[in-house]
Amino acid sequence: MPVLPPLSLYVHVPWCVRKCPYCDFNSHGVGRGVELPEAEYLAALLADLDADLPLAAGRPLVSIFIGGGTPSLLSAGFYARLLDGLAQRLSFDECIEITLEANPGTLERGRFLGYRQAGINRLSLGVQSFQSAQLEALGRIHSGDDAVAALEEARAAGFDNLNLDLMHGLPGQTPALALDDLERGLALAPEHLSWYQLTLEPNTEFHSRPPVLPEEEVLWDIQDLGHERLEAAGLARYEISAYARPGRRSRHNLNYWRFGDYLGIGAGSHAKLSARDEAGRLQIERRWKVRQPEAYLRRRHDPRGFVAGSSRVDDAELPLEFAMNALRLVDGVALAEWQAHTGRPIAMLSERLVAAHKKGLLVEDAQRLQASPRGLLFLNELLALVDDAGTP
């Protein structure tokens, strides 16, 4: 009987002060000073989880990630009560990683000590840039100085596992400005740094009114120079956009990329879950919750519950689903993980990879699924080959 993969939990907080023009997440701007329905949302989250508990199959959580929106708009007391409710319903791995996303604006500062005391042990700060012009172009509500002050306060609160989110390829950005952002970020000595390129996603303001972005040659220069600088600073790249000091890779994101399972609670949250059918064969389901915060809160008293839809990942889709995650990892994954996480024979995946091997997009290793340096540069081409191979 195949063993079920590790289990994580994602908690979505849908509110933010102002919707950023590049953001395609389920976030809803509420303005400054608006009192959010903390008690109602907490009750809904726990009711949502109660309905999903049979899907956890008694497995301990290896990680919890609280994302948004802007989770740091909610109080430390909210998270203390939430984590207490989670611990009453689910077992926690002894090394559980509990991450909270936070914005470094002055609205949220002063709460970091309370978050740490509530049990959150990893903080992810959405800095994006330290440059005033770039922050204004991105619609951010903080300054570079705010970001520095927030990190200093987080350290004082006892956080020893911090991630900084930085973006590159921003409107008006030169290689010099991108590297300056990295230097200022590195000076703060984060344990983890997510450094990703701005993309114009559908259903965003930037997609309908695109800003002028750097030319492709400039983007390549930024990427090459930035990667070299991060590696020299002791932050090793382990995923296309993620760099970490030894022992500080994100457990939650690694579980995603290794095709682990995760529950999702909160407005618009998603889940990926494995279960055995009567024959002991692994079946993989994706499900998603009601998106609009007001509708989500009403579902607590609705017999339909919180689920908006679900779908089973069929055999034809499995190779691409697995590859979309695993191939983002610089070291790839052992091919044995394919069988362990999907319950399907390795040959089912291997047949999809012949063309990619011929093009030099994969490392020649019979035991691993790993993109070559060229494959990491042209990941979309690599995934297209997996997708176009047809059903084995």
Q: Which residues of the chain have pLDDT under 50?
A: 1, 390-392
- The answer to the question of residue 260 being in a domain is no
The amino acid present at 212, given as its one-letter code, is V
Dist CA 306 CA 14 (whole Å): 15
pLDDT of residue 391: 42
Residues 47 and 123 in one domain: yes
Assess whether 175 and 81 both reside in one domain.
Answer: yes
3-state DSSP helix/strand/coil percent for the chain, to nearest 5?
Answer: 40, 25, 35
In this structure, the answer to whether residues 61 and 207 fall within a common structural domain is: yes
Residues 240 and 349 in one domain: no
Strands, E assignment, 138-215? 162-168, 192-197
Same domain for 245 and 342? no
The last residue of a domain, from among 255, 272, 306: 255
- Spatial distance between the Cα atoms of 127 and 129, rounded to a whole number of angstroms: 6
> Is 166 inside any structural domain?
yes
Q: How far apart are CA 259 and CA 367, in angstroms?
A: 17
Q: Which residue has the tokens 């590195």?
A: 186
Is beta strand 236-239 parallel, antiparallel or unpaired with respect to 192-197? unpaired
Position 88 in a domain: yes
344: domain CATH number is 1.10.10
- Residue 225: exposed, middle, or buried by beta-carbon count in 10 A (0-12, 13-18, 19+)? middle
Q: Which helix (H) or strand (E) holds 179?
A: helix 175-186
Q: Which residues pair with 75 in a beta bridge?
A: none
> Is residue 311, in this structure, part of any structural domain at all?
no
Q: Does 356 lie in the same domain as 213?
A: no
DSSP symbols for 24-55: -SS-EE--TTPPP-HHHHHHHHHHHHHHHHHH
Q: Amino acid identity, residue 226?
A: G
Say whether both 221 and 364 belong to one domain: no
Last residue of a domain, one of 232, 255, 278: 255
Q: What is the pLDDT of residue 3?
A: 78
Is the same domain home to 249 and 350? Answer: no
Residue 288: inside a domain, yes or no? no
- Structural contact between residues 227 and 237, judged by C-beta atoms closer than 8 angstroms: yes
Q: Are strands 7-13 and 192-197 parallel, antiparallel or unpaired?
A: unpaired
Residue 211 token pair:
């800003």
Look at residues 223, 255, 287 and tell me which one is the last residue of a structural domain.
Answer: 255
Domain count, the chain: 2
Question: 162 lies in a domain?
Answer: yes
Beta strands, E only, the chain: 7-13, 15-16, 28-29, 61-68, 92-102, 122-128, 162-168, 192-197, 236-239, 242-244, 261-265, 270-276, 282-289, 307-313, 333-334, 368-369
Structure token pair of residue 217: 């040659």
User: Residue 157 sits in a domain of what CATH number?
Assistant: 3.20.20.70
* Segments forming the whole domain that contains residue 345: 318-388
Same domain, 204 and 323: no
In a domain? residue 126:
yes
Q: Is the peptide bond before 69 cis (omega within 30 degrees of 0)?
A: yes
Regarding whether 360 and 251 lie in a shared domain, the answer is no
Q: Say yes or no: 116 and 23 in one domain.
A: yes
The verdict on residue 301 lying in a domain is no
One domain for residues 166 and 52: yes
